[in-house]
Amino acid sequence: MAAYEILIADDHPLFRSALRQALTLSLGSNVRLVEAENIAELESCLQDKSDWDLVLLDLNMPGAHGFSGLVLLRGQYPHVPVVMISAQEDPSIMARAREFGASGFIPKSSPLEAIQEAVQIVLDGDVWWPEQTAASAAVSEEEKAASEGLANLTPQQFRVLAMVCDGLLNKQIAFELNVSEATVKAHVTAIFRKLNVRTRTQAALLLQQMGTIPQSE
């Protein structure tokens, strides 16, 4: 049995392949690597097995808005360390990832050795941040409230919220998730309660709070 089990969550096949190569080179037969290309696949992996040693999470994953994927994972699986990976390398973005509970941040431009070092350090129970990470990040009260509410959602409620944010009606969400419209209405009611909002627009805006990321790519 592999000593480490790591989830690679990124929608770019080439970068997933590069991560797999880097980790296989450094950890050899001591690692089992599983890939997910969107938040739904990542959640499925975590529901099947909740004791992963590490999740490598792309900042801009399909199905999530900015840091909302990180917030969801920290809320549902607080014992699983999450390292963000991104082509966006603004020091304030790295600092915000730290504020929202990540154990590290790996810029996609990092050399192979840096990726290997970062992963090993986090697997050993520590944290790893690039030298250019800002000392602190200005996380607004609205973002703090949004993150606390999102952390309390179930994965299915998060999926429903993401679809609400995309403008889908209850009937369309029910079709996409293969559930009844009444089930979707119940989820929306629970989401409103947990997020302390009253309308779909307010719920969508709250999710988008987690996606206000400087576009430096």
Please, which residues bridge with residue 58 across strands? 85
What is the C-alpha to C-alpha distance for residues 17 and 37, in angstroms, rounded to an integer? Answer: 12
pLDDT exceeds 60 at position 214: no
In tens, the pLDDT along 23-49 reads 999 998 889 999 999 988 998 999 899
Q: What is the pLDDT of residue 181?
A: 94
Q: What is the pLDDT of residue 1?
A: 56
Question: Taking all residues of the chain, what is their mean pLDDT, rounded to a whole number?
Answer: 87
In tens, the pLDDT along 84-132 reads 999 888 888 888 888 889 999 999 999 999 999 999 999 999 999 988 7
Q: Per mean pLDDT, which range of 58-72, 134-148, 192-206 is the poorest?
A: 134-148
DSSP structural state of residue 14: H
Confidence of residue 165 (pLDDT cuts 50, 70, 90): confident
pTM for the model: 0.81
What is the C-alpha to C-alpha distance for residues 91 and 141, in angstroms, rounded to an integer? Answer: 20
What is the C-alpha to C-alpha distance for residues 165 and 23, in angstroms, rounded to an integer? Answer: 36
pLDDT exceeds 80 at position 197: yes
Confidence of residue 143 (pLDDT cuts 50, 70, 90): confident
Q: Is the dihedral of CA 104, 108, 110, 113 positive or negative?
A: positive
